[in-house]
Amino acid sequence: MMGIFDNNLIFLGLLLVWVLPWKGLALWEAARREDKWWFIALLLVNSLAVLDILYIFIFSKRKDKKESSI
């Protein structure tokens, strides 16, 4: 019985090691850019870092292009 919990704890630990840095970086980036709605969405939605990675590499870059063309 204990073997089941051991495997789950290892999986959860690996998941935390993967998600927390991405979540932290995405939240920091949204706060730095003053993207209030993105910050709230990133804080509340747990997408196993998929939304966080998309924000960092795609959505935050689009705002840079719009600002530089003004």
Q: Residue 11 domain-assigned? A: no
Residues 8-44 have pLDDT tens digits of 888 888 999 999 999 999 999 999 999 999 999 999 9
- Top-confidence residue, 40 or 1: 40
Domain extent, residue 48, equals 19-68
Q: Residue 31 domain-assigned? A: yes
Give the Cα separation of 24 and 52 in Å (integer): 9
Q: Residue 36 domain-assigned? A: yes
- pLDDT for position 33: 94
Q: What is the DSSP string of 39-68?
A: HHHHHH---TTHHHHHIIIIIHHHHHHHHH
Q: Residue 3 domain-assigned? A: no
- pLDDT for position 18: 95
- pLDDT for position 2: 60
Number of domains comprising the chain: 1
pLDDT band at 61, cuts 50/70/90?
confident
- pLDDT for position 63: 65
Give the Cα separation of 11 and 29 in Å (integer): 28
35: helix, strand or coil: coil
